[in-house]
């Protein structure tokens, strides 16, 4: 006598939408077997989609079927409808053939078919294709719904690194900057732009700052620094005849478009990459900046363990020249010279006033450039509008219109980026210079009290080339141009009367050796403006 295995399947969304029940299916199958006098062998209850046969319980059933040695009389696998069996017609036909090779006949009790009759295969095709079509239609509706939401500027799916998923009172989902991850990610973008460290080092520093919190895996980080989502843009991928493009997102951006564009230029190699600074220990802040006075190699640094178990730090050369300095001596000398270089009270305010006046004179050319760019954008927009009207009136072919659209939109985007850069400089430069120069006034205290990372940033920004220590004092061939101008004119500006100003033209292009030793208040050497 043939025995029956009962197969019961329901997915969570089907149970919610259509009221399917595992218990109801089992009751109907057992009642069918009772009426037909078919003994029940096993029951397999599934909670997976029928898009494929890679389902745990079905695979378990096939495994038991292969192990069965006494199935010559055949058996049947019972289910309520064919969509419980499969929602993929191609896979279903293959599985039916596989079951028959084991002497098993699949039977849907509510959609019975005698498959020995050829005409019934048409009904079988209908029963199998209908759920597949339903699945495809549902998937297509979801796809178009998500695409429409993206076009409206909404981010769909799990929030990426730096953002968190939220729901409004109206049950509408959105993303918002994560209170912990967003500031760290913003800091990482700014560090890439500053070019003080390579991207690998920046990721490691972010991970250390996170202290095990957040989702700062290496893969997440690399994906994030390439994602325009963080500057407020959402990409609409191409679909059929529609090309891919960006839209403005409804979410709050973490960085500006300019910052994101600068980061992409750096990562793509379109901007000069400054040699990454070496990450040093707290006791060796000048490691990687000091040049050997004998062989001109860069000094490294290390610690030696004394007899009492204490560690002593040294800057030393890796060549046979034998150059070696105590780290404490070199560090103290540098701090002492930095204190001596600090501007006198009021000097920074005088310089800010002079800078702003000089800046206003020089931005006249920038304003003219902005006017010209706006004019070019207007002309391109008019060209596009004319092409649009000609295309609508049938005077221009679709291919020609698409080509004009592509060219004009591309040029407009480039011009808008240039215009945006000019606008950023014009609106922020005054506040930026003021806040930066205020920090310069307390540069020695900042260096002494900040962490190792900030101290090394101070050194690298003030001394673009290198330092050379002779055992007593440090020297450098070049100071940062802005720093040099302040310090070089320290005594000069103190004697200026109200209403006078200093132009950047006073700064020479010539580069000569500048000693940092405290021999005179006004540095006599001249510096590069680069």
Give the mean model confidence (pLDDT) for residues 456-478: 84
Given pLDDT bands bounded at 50, 70 and 90, which one contains residue 436?
low
Judgement on whether residues 7 and 23 belong to the same structural domain of the protein: yes
Judgement on whether residues 321 and 465 belong to the same structural domain of the protein: yes
What is the radius of gyration, based on Cα positions, of the chain? 37
- Is 231 part of a structural domain of the chain? yes
Distance of CA 389 to the CA centre of its chain: 40
- The predicted-structure confidence for 167-206, as pLDDT tens digits, reads as follows 988 888 899 999 999 999 999 999 888 877 778 888 988 9
The residue out of 417, 441, 465 marking a domain boundary is 441
Judgement on whether residues 391 and 242 belong to the same structural domain of the protein: no
pTM comes to 0.43
Provide the residue range defining the domain that includes 21: 3-142
Judgement on whether residues 335 and 411 belong to the same structural domain of the protein: no
Task: Give the span between the Cα atoms of 445 and 80, in whole angstroms.
Answer: 80
- Is 375 part of a structural domain of the chain? yes
| Sheet hosting strand 474-476, strand order edge to edge | 468-469, 474-476, 514-515
Judgement on whether residues 196 and 137 belong to the same structural domain of the protein: no
- Is 134 part of a structural domain of the chain? yes
- Is 26 part of a structural domain of the chain? yes
**Residue written as token pair 């378990």:** 60
Dihedral pair phi/psi, residue 158, rounded to 5°? -65, 135
The residue out of 216, 250, 267 marking a domain boundary is 267
Output the CA torsion sign for 364, 369, 374, 379.
positive
Given pLDDT bands bounded at 50, 70 and 90, which one contains residue 51?
confident
Structure tokens at 81: 């409808």
Judgement on whether residues 119 and 191 belong to the same structural domain of the protein: no
Judgement on whether residues 27 and 121 belong to the same structural domain of the protein: yes
Given pLDDT bands bounded at 50, 70 and 90, which one contains residue 523?
very low
Give the mean model confidence (pLDDT) for residues 393-410: 86
Contact 78/6 with Cβ under 8 angstroms?
yes
Query: Any idea what the Cα angle at residue 103 is, between residues 100 and 106, rounded to 5°?
Result: 60
- Is 155 part of a structural domain of the chain? no
Judgement on whether residues 385 and 324 belong to the same structural domain of the protein: no
pLDDT tops 50 at residue 504 = no
- Percentage of the chain with pLDDT > 70? 81
Judgement on whether residues 177 and 311 belong to the same structural domain of the protein: no
Judgement on whether residues 169 and 72 belong to the same structural domain of the protein: no
For the stretch 408-417, what's the b/e string if a residue is b when 16 or more beta carbons lie within 10 angstroms of its beta carbon?
A: beebbeebee
Judgement on whether residues 328 and 360 belong to the same structural domain of the protein: no
- Is 525 part of a structural domain of the chain? no
- Is 526 part of a structural domain of the chain? no
SS3 of residue 479 by DSSP: coil
Task: Give the span between the Cα atoms of 201 and 275, in whole angstroms.
Answer: 13
Given pLDDT bands bounded at 50, 70 and 90, which one contains residue 270?
low
DSSP track, 151-194: HTT---SS--TTEEEEE-TTS-EEEEE-TTHHHHHHHHHHHHHH
- Is 334 part of a structural domain of the chain? yes
Judgement on whether residues 496 and 429 belong to the same structural domain of the protein: no
The residue out of 79, 108, 142 marking a domain boundary is 142
Say how many domains are in the chain.
4
Specify the CATH number for the domain of residue 78: 3.40.50.1390
Specify the CATH number for the domain of residue 181: 3.90.1750.20
């Amino acid at each position: 006598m043939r025995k029956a295995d009962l197969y019961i399947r329901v997915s969570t969304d089907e149970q919610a939408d259509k009221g399917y029940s595992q218990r109801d299916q089992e009751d109907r199958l057992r009642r069918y077997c009772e009426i037909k006098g078919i003994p029940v062998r096993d029951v397999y209850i599934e909670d997976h989609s029928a898009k494929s046969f890679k389902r745990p319980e079905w695979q378990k059933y096939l495994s038991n079927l292969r192990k069965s040695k006494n199935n010559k009389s055949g058996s049947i696998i019972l289910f309520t409808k064919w969509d419980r069996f499969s929602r993929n017609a191609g896979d279903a036909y293959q599985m039916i053939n596989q079951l028959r090779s084991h002497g098993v006949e699949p039977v849907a009790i509510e959609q019975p078919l005698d498959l020995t009759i050829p005409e019934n295969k048409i009904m079988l095709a209908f029963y199998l294709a209908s759920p597949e079509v339903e699945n495809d239609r549902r998937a297509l509706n979801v796809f178009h719904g998500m695409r429409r939401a993206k076009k409206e500027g909404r981010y769909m799916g799990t929030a990426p690194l730096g953002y968190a998923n939220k729901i409004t009172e109206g049950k509408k989902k959105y993303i918002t900057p994560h209170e912990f991850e967003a500031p760290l990610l913003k800091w990482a973008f700014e560090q890439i732009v500053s070019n003080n460290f390579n991207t690998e080092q920046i990721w490691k520093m972010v991970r250390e700052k996170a202290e095990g919190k957040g989702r700062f895996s290496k893969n997440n980080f690399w994906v994030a620094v390439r994602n325009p989502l963080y500057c407020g843009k959402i990409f609409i991928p191409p679909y059929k005849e529609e090309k891919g493009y960006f839209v403005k997102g409804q979410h709050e951006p973490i960085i500006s478009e300019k910052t994101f564009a600068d980061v992409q230029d750096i990562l793509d190699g379109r901007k000069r990459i400054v040699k990454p600074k070496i990450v040093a220990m707290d006791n060796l802040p000048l490691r990687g900046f000091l040049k050997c006075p004998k062989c001109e190699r860069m000094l490294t640094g290390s610690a030696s363990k004394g007899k009492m178990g204490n560690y002593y730090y040294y800057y030393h050369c890796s060549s046979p020249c034998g150059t070696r300095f105590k780290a404490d001596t070199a560090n103290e000398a540098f701090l002492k010279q930095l204190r001596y270089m600090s501007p006198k009270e009021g000097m920074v305010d005088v310089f800010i006033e002079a800078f702003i006046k000089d800046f206003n004179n020089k931005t006249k050319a920038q304003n003219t450039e902005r006017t010209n760019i706006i004019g070019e954008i207007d002309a391109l927009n008019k060209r596009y509008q004319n092409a649009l009207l000609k295309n609508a009136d049938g005077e221009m072919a679709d291919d020609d219109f698409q080509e004009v659209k592509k060219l004009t939109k591309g040029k407009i985007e480039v011009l808008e980026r240039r215009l945006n850069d000019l606008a950023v400089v014009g609106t922020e430069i005054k506040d930026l210079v003021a806040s930066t120069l205020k920090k310069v006034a307390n540069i020695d205290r900042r260096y002494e009290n900040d962490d190792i990372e900030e101290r090394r940033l101070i050194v690298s920004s003030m001394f673009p080339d290198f330092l050379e220590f002779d055992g007593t004092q440090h020297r450098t061939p070049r100071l940062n141009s802005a720093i040099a101008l302040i310090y070089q004119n320290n005594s000069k500006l103190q004697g200026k009367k109200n209403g006078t100003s200093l132009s950047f033209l006073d700064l020479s292009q010539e580069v000569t050796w500048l000693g940092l030793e405290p021999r005179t208040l006004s540095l006599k050497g001249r510096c590069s403006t680069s």
